[in-house]
Structure 1
Amino acid sequence: MEDGDDWLAADKLEHLLACFCIAILVAALAGRSRHAFLRRRSVALGSIAALVAGAGKEAGDEIRLWRSAGASSKDAAADVLGVLLAAVFLSVPRRFWRSSPGGF
């Protein structure tokens, strides 16, 4: 185990929440676009943006841009989990609303 890189560290929660929030924000912005292409792909765009941000953070860690022990596969896993949770959060209501009679 890497020193100071526990699975249940506060840092992992920060990675998860940051990627979750980035994915939700970008998806919400894309969903409000006047371009149907962006609206239809809002969840994918939000997910990609969050993963790019997470990868950028890890790359910065690896080149010592910030005070860090280097890139962490556990941080990357927390990033991916945050994106997956955001995708589920964004996708479930869409399926629910489409199937409800009368819609919202």
Structure 2
Amino acid sequence: MAIATFSFIMLFSGVISWTGFPGVLIFVLLLFFGLPLLVMAPEMLPKAYQDYVLPWLPMKFLYEGVRDMLYFKASFLNQNTWALITIAGAGLVMFFFETFGKRHKATFI
């Protein structure tokens, strides 16, 4: 769960630093429409949510990874954990490129 939290924070920080305030709106809409859907079984969701909303939710990997570890005896480094590590890496790269980019070059020594 710590990896999922870290990946979500890094993705959030990267998008916010890259886009500014519109990034907050993206995540508000994503969480508003997405989190209630994660409680339901994927088979009960409409086809549009299964195809277009559910694959974009970062916390989906947390739920599926924990489910695989608890019920299907998967290892800690399963497919969902690697997806979360990739999401965290992408957010970290976006954050560092924006932080150390041309706009902020004058503020560094």
Is TM > 0.5 for Structure 1 vs Structure 2?
Answer: no
| TM-score normalised over the length of structure 1 | 0.38
Instruction: Choose between structure 1 and 2 for higher RCO, CA contacts under 8 A separated by at least 6 residues.
Output: 2
| TM-score normalised over the length of structure 2 | 0.36
